[in-house]
Amino acid sequence: MKKPVGVTHILAIVIVIVGLMLPLFAETFTVQLATKGMYLGVLAMSLILLAGYADMISLAQMSFALIAGYVIGIGVMDYGISHVILVPLAIVAATLLAMVFGLIAIRAQKIYFLMMTLALSQLFYGIAMQWVSMTRGYPGICGIKRPFIFGYSLLEATPLYYLTLVVTALCYVLLRRLVHSPFGLTLQGIRDNPRRMAALGFNVQLHRYIAIVISGTFAGIAGVLIVYFTGVAAPSRANLPASVLVLMAALVGGASILEGGLLGGLLIAFLMSIASQLTTRYWSIIGVLFVLTVMFMPNGLLGGDLPIGNWIRKFLERIAPLIGISSSRLTAGRNSNDHLDWK
Amino acid sequence: MSAEITSFLIKVFNGLTFGGLLFQIAIGFTLIFGLMRIVNLAHGAFYLLGAYVAWTVQNEGGSWPIAIAAGTAAVAITALLAYFLVRRVKGDLPQNLLSLGIGIVVADLCLWYWTGVPRTIDPPELIRQPVTVAGFTYPGYRIFVLVTAAVLGIGLWLLFKYTQLGRIIRAGVDNRLMVSALGINIDRIFTLVFVLGGILIGFSGAIGGSFLSFGPGKDWEVLTFAIVVVIIGGLGSVAGSAVGALIVGLVDSFGRSYFSELAIFLLSGTILVVLAFRPQGLFGRKEQ
């Protein structure tokens, strides 16, 4: 109850208002950047479900996203299937891949889990590269047709932005309910003390496995958004730097709480954009930031490492009663151990 | 010799020699992990750096051995600098993530300085010549890589078995707290081993630079190979790395010729089978 920021409710309101209004005052470029930030946020949240709530840092999230992209790309371009069928199919494909990866990776823990997911995602990348007859190899499937929703083409920035906003909000609400459900609490119990949970009769490995699968589902949802944003399903979307970006988003925002993923996703999207305008060496900047984050801010912006996080929390606690939210709700619904246990 | 036997032999040798390179790649990785529990995710970037520096030295007129030495030394220094950062954070995971960040920076700086063109290093004529034994001809450099791997493996084995440093490292792998309690400066040993890991991967980069062409993206490929080898062989075990490297090399060689497009499925399958029966790898010890 002491350290982390409990800004969730107010942050949510501010984000929803700004989010709904953004296309009205921002340039198309900014809207697109925000779209990118949001799907990165969904990916980061799917990672945080594992990293923050189950102590399993995965580098395979982009593989789940990419397979969803391939399902849509191949379905639309090669078979002309409707998006209405393809989207659920894509998410199912991501879930199935997560089931397969999970079966292997579940045998490992902590750094071994990280390594295992790294190896699996690289193998998936290799398959995407080599299976040319299916995936078209390195260039991938380009120019994937975007559908219309209520008569608006998703090729346009604003409709896609609103779709992404709705999906992201939905993912957040679902994930939030999940981590506060009995399942989520059990998961956190397992993170903190797997032996005790096993002794209490919980099936530790099954809970871990389900977490991986659910995480894969959400990464798949993000994958659908990515395809609608870029129109491309190519192996490079799932290479290691792409996965590192997701991890980076989670770490910067705060890998111990879902909100950290959203914040991190937006921050990283804007940061990448600014950095790539300034220099072609933006990966170096990302890498240096990564190093600095790990060294000086391992719990992320919302994890309570920086005084600024506490300032925001204090400020919000003070203004909370003014807008009709009791300040006790600011701290409600938080788990007692919000920090990644690095040991 | 009939054509079939020859082509089969070529596949076997392709696998063995590639395994030789994989062993050189994996050995530094597994060494660092074994003692320090650090999964050095900058490993692939170090490989790339070693290859690039060797390439530059050779292109500036340096002889091949000097190029190899320069590549090795450059990575050794980089590893030392990286370790100063890595030792500042505590805990397994932050150290791994830190090395990942370092890897990204090193690889990006390599891309900056050497651009994105794939390159190879030319080995001297002497070891490049094809070797013919009993009517079977095979590229000399690949044999050289296999021999180097064997020499490295035996050298390390001797180092671990018969030198004081080796004894300390072996003891450290078993129980680092006890070793430091015995009055040995484990910090210095850690630094030394991290640099030794750097030397090994820098060397393998310089050697491997004539075996596989290298460029951006090779870093992750090499890291993946190192990880796959140690997952199969067992983390922290030198013998495991050797066996794992040979298995991966052979599977890769035969997979490529018989399954072409889907060779990588075969590799994934191998990992699956190994993990199904021995989750800790063939030579790995069970972690508690």
Q: Are B224 and A133 inside 8 Å of each other by CB?
A: no
Of A215, A282, A207, nearest to A250 (Cα)?
A215
B246, B184 Cβ separation under 8 angstroms? no
Beta carbons within 8 Å of A142's beta carbon, 6+ residues apart:
A231, A232, A234
In order, the DSSP letters of A102-142 are HHHHTT--HHHHHHHHHHHHHHHHHHHHH-HHHH-TTT-B-
Whether B130 is in a domain gets the answer yes
Q: Report chain A residues whose CB lies below 8 A from the CB of B262.
A: 127, 130-131
Q: Which helix (H) or strand (E) holds B137?
A: strand B136-138
Q: Which residues of chain B have pLDDT under 70?
A: 1, 260-263, 285-288
Q: Parallel, antiparallel, or unpaired for β A152-153 and A148-149?
A: antiparallel
Per-residue pLDDT, B273: 78
For B40, the domain range is 35-216
Note the pLDDT of residue A322.
62
Which residue of B101, B223, B224 is in closest CB contact with A290?
Answer: B101
Asked if residue A337 belongs to a domain, the reply is no
Nearest residue in A to B288, CA atom: A109
**By the 8 A CB rule, do B149 and B21 touch?**
yes
Q: Which residue of B has its CA nearest to A289?
A: B101
Coil, strand or helix at A98 = helix
Quote ipTM for the complex.
Answer: 0.80
């801010």: which residue's tokens? A297
State how far residue A119 is from chain B, nearest Cα, in angstroms: 6
Among candidates A280, A226, A217, A196, which has minimal Cα distance to A46? A217
Instruction: Tell whether A244 lies on the interface with B, counting CB pairs under 8 A.
Output: yes
Query: What does the block give as tokens for A231?
Result: 């129109």
Domain assignment present for B239: no
A130: in domain: yes
State residue A115 phi and psi, 5-degree precision: -65, -40
Residue pLDDT, tens place only, B209-218: 888 888 888 8
Determine phi and psi for B261, rounding to 5 degrees. Answer: -60, -35
From the CA of B1, how many Å to the nearest CA of chain A?
33
The answer, for A25 touching chain B at a CB cutoff of 8 Å, is: no
Buried b (16+ CB within 10 A) or exposed e, A105-129: bbebebbbbbbbbbbbbbbbbbbbb
Q: What is the CATH number of the domain that holds A167?
A: 1.10.3470
Cα B264 to Cα A133: distance, rounded to the nearest angstrom: 15
| Positive or negative torsion for Cα A21, A27, A30, A32 | positive
Which of A122, A251, A289, A343 best tests the B interface by mutation, with the highest count of B CBs <10 A? A122
* Structural domain includes residue B19: no
Q: What is the pLDDT of residues A300-330, one digit of tens each?
A: 777 765 556 666 666 666 666 665 555 554 4
Q: Chain A 105-164, CB below 8 Å of chain B: which residues?
A: 107-112, 114-116, 118-120, 122-123, 126-127, 130-133
DSSP E strands in A138-252: the ranges are 148-149, 152-153
**Considering CB atoms only, which of A114, A132, A291 is closest to B102?**
A291
Distance from chain centroid for Cα B177: 28
Spatial contact of A172 and A193, defined as CB atoms under 8 Å apart: no
Domain assignment of residue A181, given as a range: 8-331
Torsion-angle region of residue A26: left (phi > 0), alpha (psi -120 to 50) or beta? Answer: beta
Residue B285 forms part of a structural domain: no
Inform me whether the C-beta atom of residue A212 falls under 8 Å from chain B C-beta atoms.
no
Give B118-151 pLDDT, tens digit per residue.
888 888 877 777 877 777 778 888 888 899 999 9
Instruction: Chain B: give the shortest CA distance to residue A287, in Å.
Output: 5
On average, the pLDDT of chain A sits at 81
Q: Is residue A339 part of a domain?
A: no
Could you tell me if residue A120 is inside a domain? yes
For residue A234, the model assigns a pLDDT of 85
**Which of B108, B223, B262 is facing A287, going by the closest CB pair?**
B108
Residue A272 forms contact with B (CB below 8 Å):
no
Measure the CA–CA gap between A270 and A37, rounded to whole angstroms.
Answer: 7
How many domains does one find in chain B? 1
A58, part of any domain: yes
- How many distinct structural domains can be found in chain A? 1
Q: How far is CA B10 from the centre of its chain?
A: 23
Give the residue ranges of chain A where pLDDT is below 50: 1-5, 329-343
Distance CA A112, CA B124 (A): 40
Chain B CB contacts of A110 under 8 Å are 92-93
**To which residue do tokens 């992404």 refer?**
A164
The verdict on a CB contact (< 8 Å) between A130 and B264 is yes
Tens of pLDDT, residue by residue over A92-142, are: 999 999 999 898 888 877 778 888 888 888 888 888 887 877 778 787 788
CB-based contacts of A165: which residues, under 8 Å, 6+ apart? A19, A20, A38
Residue among B89, B104, B272 whose CB faces A287 most closely: B104
Q: What is the pLDDT of residue A313?
A: 66
- Domain assignment present for residue A189? The answer is yes
Domain for residue A45, yes or no? yes
Of the candidates B91, B101, B235, the beta carbon closest to that of A287 is on: B101
Q: What is the model's pLDDT at position B23?
A: 93
Number of helices (H) and strands (E) in chain A: give both, helices first. Answer: 15, 2
- Is B61 in a helix, a strand, or coil? coil
Between CA A213 and CA A207 the distance in angstroms is: 10
Q: What residues form DSSP beta bridges with B132?
A: B137
Q: Note whether A215 and A50 are within 8 A (CB).
A: yes
Is B8 domain-assigned? no
- Residue B51's closest CA among B220, B209, B201? B209
Strands B131-133 and B136-138: antiparallel
| Residue A92 belongs to a domain | yes
